[in-house]
Amino acid sequence: MSAGASVASTIGTVGADRHHGLMQLARLAATSADIAATRSRLAKRRFIAQTIAASEPQEIELVVTFLSGSLRQRRTGVGWASLNSIPEPAPEPSLTVQDVDAAFDEIAGLAGPGSTAARARAVEALFARATDAEQRWLRGLVFDEVRQGALDALVQDGLADAFGLPVAAVQRAAMLLGSTPGTARLMATEGVDALASVGLRVGQPVRPMLAASAPDVAAALDKTGLPAAVDVKLDGIRVQVHRSGQQVRVYTRSLDDITARVPEIVAAVGALPVQTIVLDGEALSLGPDGRPVAFQLIASRTASHLDPAAGAAGIALSLFCFDLLHVDGRDLLDEPLSERIEVMRSALPAELIVPRHLVGTDTEVLGVFTDAVAAGYEGVVVKKLHAPYAAGRRDSGWVKLKPRHTFDLAVTAAEWGYGRREGWLSNLHLAARDPATGGLVMLGKTFKGLTDQVLTWQTEQFLARESRRTRGTVFVDPPLVVEIACDGVQASVRYPGGVALRFARVLRYRPDKSVDDVDTVDVVAALGQVPVPGGEDG
User: Which sequence positions are flagged as catalytic?
Assistant: 233
CB of 487 closer than 8 Å to CB of 502: yes
Tell me the longest C-alpha to C-alpha distance in the chain: 69
Nearest to 243 by CA among 222, 264, 271: 271
Separation CA 401–CA 380 (nearest Å): 5
DSSP class of residue 71 equals -
φ, ψ for residue 406, nearest 5 deg: -130, 145
Using the Cα atoms of residue 448, residue 454, residue 456 and residue 458 in order, give the sign of their dihedral.
Answer: negative
Separation CA 87–CA 138 (nearest Å): 13
φ, ψ for residue 131, nearest 5 deg: -75, 175
Q: Where are the alpha helices (DSSP H) in 427-513?
A: 452-464
H/E run at residue 45: helix 41-53
Separation CA 199–CA 316 (nearest Å): 34
- Is residue 286 classed as helix, strand or coil in its secondary structure? strand
H/E run at residue 106: helix 97-109
Separation CA 195–CA 170 (nearest Å): 8
Separation CA 386–CA 365 (nearest Å): 18
Provide the β-strand partners of residue 488.
Answer: 502
List Cα–Cα distances, 417 to 273, 422, 479, in angstroms.
Answer: 58, 5, 19
For β-strands 473-486 and 228-233, DSSP reports them as unpaired
Separation CA 60–CA 23 (nearest Å): 9
Separation CA 266–CA 483 (nearest Å): 30
φ, ψ for residue 175, nearest 5 deg: -60, -50
Separation CA 291–CA 258 (nearest Å): 24
